[in-house]
Amino acid sequence: MTVKRVYTFGNGKAEGKSEMRNLLGGKGANLAEMNLIGVPVPPGFTITTEVCTEYNEVGRDATVDLLKKEVEDAIKNIEELTGTSFGSKENPLLVSVRSGARASMPGMMDTVLNLGLNDDSVIGIAKKSGNERFAWDSYRRFVQMYGDVVLGMKPTSKEEIDPFEEIMEEVKERKGVELDTDLDVNDLKELVTLFKKAVKEQTNRDFPESAWEQLWGSVMAVFDSWNNDRAILYRRMENIPDEWGTAVNVQAMVFGNMGENSATGVAFTRDAATGENAFNGEYLINAQGEDVVAGVRTPQQITKAGSLSWAKLQGISEEDRASMYPSLEEAMPEVYNQLNDVQEKLEGHYKDMQDLEFTVQDGKLWLLQTRNGKRTGAAMVKIAMDMHREGILDDKTALLRIEPNKLDELLHPVFDADAMKSAKVLAKGLPASPGAATGQVIFFADEATKYDNTILVRIETSPEDLEGMMSAQGILTARGGMTSHAAVVARGMGKCCVSGAGALKIDYKARTLTVDGKVFNEGDWISLNGSTGDVYEGKVETRKPELDEDFRSIMAFADKYTKMTVRTNADTPSDAQTAREFGAQGIGLCRTEHMFFEGERIKAVREMILSSDEKGRRDALAKLLPYQREDFEGILEAMEGYGVTIRLLDPPLHEFVPHTEEAQKDMAKEMGISLEEVKSKVADLSEFNPMLGHRGCRLGNTYPEITEMQARAIIEAALNLKAKGVVTKPEIMVPLIGTVQELKLQKEIIDNVAKSVFEERGETVEYMVGTMIEIPRAALTANEVAEVAEFFSFGTNDLTQMTFGYSRDDANKFLPIYIEKGILKTDPFQVLDQVGVGQLVRMGTEKGRSTNPELKVGICGEHGGEPSSVEFCNSVGMNYVSCSPFRVPIARVAAAQANLR
């Protein structure tokens, strides 16, 4: 059977459908689907994502051979539907060639519009449309886009200027006009000549006149754009696999640049920033394609309500608004009504907020794209719950609509109301992406890490700025609307953004920002409120956010549908409290060593380390006991009623002694010994591979008195709380075991201590003894280990380190390069390596339960709050995952979703 590589759509028919997004890309699948549900879409066809993979293997010529017949047939189909002819002089078919991957990658790849134009057909188009200016405007756009995208003339660094933009600026300046719409036919003709001259100069080739040559060139360029730097970076950020490839959509052009009765725009069925159920968007009359988002002209609002509030924010009078920037609702009421019907239809069909692209050609509406719109975390929660209330989504579907990682945005600080009162508003822009951000001004995206907290200030942003936008605290632009690049990308990232603050004068060269005569330099502090569009001078204090009813409903669904519980990693009562407020049910990892550093304690710890015999160590440990007991009481009480896993001392002792001479002198003085003695002890403790050295249960097995003291502190704390009527469930965890014998000896010590404390007090409490599984050998022999352990907690940080043999502390030297080269897909310290490390986890769990069916199993590495890893833990059958307090809501949703999928 021959492989089908091309899928056509048009006139209410389509060979594809929305379920085929893996093969057709999101854009292609939805163009097909829109045809099927009766939305007006210009006819065209989609070349599958599989061809992109083939192209990367066999190259250009072989790919053309593979596609030729199907593409020629598909072009014929468009010709029939449109009554035009590809390559004809008098009645040419013009098409767009568009990228479109499985996952939406807005603006990352390339598109060519108006393809099929040449020196002859431009005259044909002019005659046919009776609009010479339109024909030449389309032609100059085509030459420019083809030059940039196919002939590689697009600048690659921020120093270079797009040669076409430069020419355009020259011509505009010479004519004394500001907007491209002010150029007349002769100017546009001149532009085409100059553009082509630039092409010849830079590429040594004439601009191709043949429509077919143009088409194949563009198709291959779109395939190539899958591997441009922006696209690669975006994939890395969004965890999109490199091997997916992009589809190519070829589609008959419709023209928004045909005059005053034509327009182009983008729209959202709901508010992507707040989630409010309000149709909104922006459009431009007599414009094409990206004009709206590129910020060339000030875009106008779609709805009248939107327009009124926009004008208010911009300080534009009603008179000016109505005459210069009317909404589509006012300017083209019939088209607006059609568009409104279509948006309702699309949202109803996809049951999710849609992001649409449309063009109006001479009064007729066409849809060019629909997709599930990117949104902020707050909007995500509100839209899911609104649709649940509207009866569109049931509990489970509403819950599955939540991207767990995005919840993070809701948990972050907002401006303190009191601080806001005294804050000085510097300028007002559009509330492009909510949140509060305070930072130092920088002007270039690649300098976003110059200070700890930065605000990226740009006239407008472009896809090249992506990485910097990610690192900055907030983004502020002088130009561009709610659908500008900055706004859309910031909302996708959940990053605070104020766009289109027109009062800002930005001088990149001088690195200054001027507002009303007041000059700000790079490094000066400003603050942004992305929910109101306010820009403040200086630092504004922030505070904890309040979580609303919708958030709580989602969390309630999560608890209803989850199998695993979520615990937290917390070392202090206040962390435990925070996590409890976020819904943590217990502590999965309480590290005791953090408690050793404060005040008087470190002195006792050092005394213990310095002692040369057991007696000395015991004396020092006795001083530590009350502190530890008090700490444990605090933590156990904060988690009243839930399990609290307390890990015995883990790090090498070397970490507790000072390493600079200065500090060693202090210590000598404090301990009443000589500097030399301190130095020699420090030297004694130093190890070649401390992470594989004298640490974990190896400490407790060589100095049992340490384990004794810690076990006593835990048991006594629990008894003290019991006396107060507080129910506790301490779980004592032995770290870093590799053989069952290591655990057995530690358990004996713990049980003996417990027994004597119970006798002393005449009272008992329940406790458990278990172990951390973080050495491959422990996982491999889990059946033996589980005969002694009452619970396992997979310490996947160390387990990853030891399975890969990558030092956690040194891996940053090569991991980024490994990821760039594709040796690793993701950082295994962030995303659990299910294939390798995961196998040990699965095996460890199964083997452990084979000898101890009651064995409680959890995870306490960083992975416990990472959604894909949480899903894996669910599939392994863990009882719980444990993560840092702020990731608890994320893990709760991820755990429930894992169970529903």
Contact set with ligand ADP (CB under 6 A): 42, 96, 98, 106-107, 111, 113, 251-254, 289-290, 357, 359, 368-369
Q: Which is nearer to Mg ion, 51 or 737 (CB)?
A: 737
* Pairing mode of beta strands 542-543, 534-537: unpaired
**Catalytic pick from 52, 496, 497, 860?**
860
Contact partner, 163, from Mg ion, ligand ADP, none, Cβ < 5-8 Å per class: none
* Pairing mode of beta strands 300-301, 729-734: unpaired
CB of 699 to Mg ion, least distance (A): 13
Q: Which is nearer to ligand ADP, 51 or 248 (CB)?
A: 248
Tell me the two tokens of residue 755. Answer: 């027994």
* Residue nearest Mg ion (C-beta atom): 798
Q: Which is nearer to ligand ADP, 247 or 535 (CB)?
A: 247
CB of 265 to ligand ADP, least distance (A): 9
Q: Which is nearer to ligand ADP, 112 or 873 (CB)?
A: 112
Contact partner, 569, from ligand ADP, Mg ion, none, Cβ < 5-8 Å per class: none
Contact partner, 42, from ligand ADP, Mg ion, none, Cβ < 5-8 Å per class: ligand ADP
Cα distance between residue 644 and residue 569, in whole Å: 10
Question: For residue 258, what is the DSSP state?
Answer: S
Contact partner, 290, from Mg ion, ligand ADP, none, Cβ < 5-8 Å per class: ligand ADP
Contact partner, 122, from ligand ADP, Mg ion, none, Cβ < 5-8 Å per class: none
Cα distance between residue 869 and residue 838, in whole Å: 9
Contact partner, 284, from ligand ADP, Mg ion, none, Cβ < 5-8 Å per class: none
By CB under 5 A, residue 282 contacts Mg ion: no
Site for Mg ion in 163-192 (CB under 5 A): none
By CB under 5 A, residue 522 contacts Mg ion: no
Residue keyed to tokens 């507790």: 656
Cα distance between residue 465 and residue 448, in whole Å: 10
Question: Segment near Mg ion (CB under 5 A), from 72-80, 361-369, 588-596, 634-642?
Answer: 361-369
Nearest residue to 857 via CA among 791, 797, 799? 791
Question: Segment near Mg ion (CB under 5 A), from 139-147, 175-183, 369-377, 863-871?
Answer: 369-377
Contact partner, 798, from Mg ion, ligand ADP, none, Cβ < 5-8 Å per class: Mg ion
Q: Which is nearer to ligand ADP, 364 or 615 (CB)?
A: 364
Cα distance between residue 437 and residue 456, in whole Å: 11
Contact partner, 148, from ligand ADP, Mg ion, none, Cβ < 5-8 Å per class: none
Cα distance between residue 734 and residue 96, in whole Å: 64
Contact partner, 280, from ligand ADP, Mg ion, none, Cβ < 5-8 Å per class: none
Q: Which is nearer to ligand ADP, 362 or 640 (CB)?
A: 362
CB of 506 to Mg ion, least distance (A): 28
Give the CA-trace dihedral at 732, 738, 741, 747, to 10 degrees.
Answer: 0
Collapsing DSSP to helix, strand or coil, 568 comes out as: strand
CB of 215 to Mg ion, least distance (A): 20
CB 249 within 8 A of CB 482: no
Residue keyed to tokens 């002819």: 85
Question: For residue 205, what is the DSSP state?
Answer: S
Residue 278 vs residues 464, 735, 882: alpha-carbon distances, Å: 31, 54, 39
Instruction: State the greatest distance between any 2 C-alpha atoms of the chain, in Å, as a whole number.
Output: 104
Tell me the two tokens of residue 276. Answer: 């409010």
CB of 284 to ligand ADP, least distance (A): 11
Contact partner, 467, from ligand ADP, Mg ion, none, Cβ < 5-8 Å per class: none
Strands (E), 443-511: 454-458, 474-477, 496-499, 505-507
Residue keyed to tokens 């107060």: 724
Q: Which is nearer to ligand ADP, 284 or 493 (CB)?
A: 284
CB 583 within 8 A of CB 568: no
Instruction: Please indicate whether residue 860 is annotated as part of the active site.
Output: yes
Cα distance between residue 587 and residue 263, in whole Å: 58
Tell me the two tokens of residue 360. Answer: 């109006």
Site for Mg ion in 769-808 (CB under 5 A): 774, 795, 798
Residues 116, 117, 121, 127, CA torsion sign: positive
CB of 121 to ligand ADP, least distance (A): 16
CB 26 within 8 A of CB 355: no
Calculate ∠ Cα 173-178-181, nearest 5°.
115
Tell me the two tokens of residue 105. Answer: 């990658």
Q: How many CB atoms lie within 10 A of CB 229?
A: 13
Q: Which is nearer to ligand ADP, 367 or 426 (CB)?
A: 367
Nearest residue to 313 via CA among 481, 486, 438, 458? 481
CB of 696 to Mg ion, least distance (A): 7
Contact partner, 795, from Mg ion, ligand ADP, none, Cβ < 5-8 Å per class: Mg ion
Secondary element (H or E) of residue 545: none
Nearest residue to 123 via CA among 84, 82, 86, 90? 90
Residue 892 vs residues 494, 838, 858: alpha-carbon distances, Å: 20, 20, 14
Q: 218 CB contacts (<8 Å, ≥6 apart)? A: 97, 112, 115, 146, 149, 150
Q: Which is nearer to Mg ion, 98 or 382 (CB)?
A: 98
CB 745 within 8 A of CB 786: no
CB of 17 to ligand ADP, least distance (A): 19
Give the CA-trace dihedral at 639, 641, 645, 649, to 10 degrees.
Answer: 60
CB of 832 to ligand ADP, least distance (A): 32
**Catalytic pick from 52, 485, 496, 863?**
485
Q: Which is nearer to Mg ion, 784 or 798 (CB)?
A: 798
Number of residues engaging Mg ion in binding (CB under 5 A): 4
Residue keyed to tokens 């009866």: 391
Nearest residue to 419 via CA among 540, 546, 544, 543? 540
Contact partner, 254, from ligand ADP, Mg ion, none, Cβ < 5-8 Å per class: ligand ADP
Contact partner, 107, from ligand ADP, Mg ion, none, Cβ < 5-8 Å per class: ligand ADP
Q: Which is nearer to ligand ADP, 14 or 254 (CB)?
A: 254
CB of 111 to Mg ion, least distance (A): 7
CB of 593 to Mg ion, least distance (A): 11
CB of 850 to ligand ADP, least distance (A): 52
CB of 160 to ligand ADP, least distance (A): 21
Collapsing DSSP to helix, strand or coil, 273 comes out as: coil
Q: Which is nearer to ligand ADP, 20 or 566 (CB)?
A: 20
Helix 49-58, helix 211-225: angle, nearest 10: 90
Q: Which is nearer to ligand ADP, 251 or 461 (CB)?
A: 251
Instruction: Tell me the three-class secondary structure of 634-676, residue by residue.
Output: HHHHHCCCCEEEEECCCCCHHHHCCCCHHHHHHHHHHHCCCHH
Of 218, 286, 314, 369, the residue at the interface with Mg ion (CB under 5 A) is 369
User: Which parts of this chain interact with Mg ion (CB under 5 A)?
Assistant: 369, 774, 795, 798
Catalytic residues: 485, 860
